[in-house]
Amino acid sequence: MADLKGKILAGKILVQSQAAEEKTVSGIIIPDSAQEKPQIGTVALVGADKKDDPMELKVGDVVFYGKYSGTELNIDGEDYLLMSQTDILYIT
């Protein structure tokens, strides 16, 4: 994960998605066109607390999020998703 110097708004988080699976459990290689969008990632930046909604995430948390959550961003050659804290389904 790159050393990010930016700042994001309150209640928002920046997530770096994990790579999609390229093989099945049995060893079959999945082509790029058939790979599903990953739904797990690592929190890279967190915004401040909102007025009545404290930030529950911290940098480094591994999270699960909805399939169509977030806005894709490319920062310094790395792909990230910008989303609201409320888009997170599960924290590991």
Which pair of structure tokens corresponds to residue 38? 């990953």
* Within-domain flag for 44: yes
Residue 1 domain-assigned?
A: no
The domain in which residue 47 lies consists of 12-91
Across the chain, what does the average pLDDT equal? Answer: 85
Q: Is 75 among the domain residues?
A: yes
Q: For residue 43, what pLDDT is reported? A: 95
Contacts of 42 (CB under 8 A, 6+ apart): 1, 15, 16, 18, 60, 61, 62, 63
Q: Is residue 3 part of a domain?
A: no
- Give the chain's largest Cα–Cα span: 49
In a domain, residue 33? The reply is yes
Structure confidence by residue, pLDDT tens digits, 28-72: 776 666 656 668 999 999 999 988 889 999 999 999 998 889 999
Instruction: Evaluate whether residue 73 is within a structural domain.
Output: yes
| Res 80: pLDDT | 94
Domains of the chain: total: 1
pLDDT at 27 over 70: yes
Residues 61, 43: Cα–Cα separation, whole Å: 5
Residue 1 clears pLDDT 60, i.e. is over it = no
The CATH number covering residue 51 comes to: 2.30.33.40
Is 5 inside a domain boundary?
no
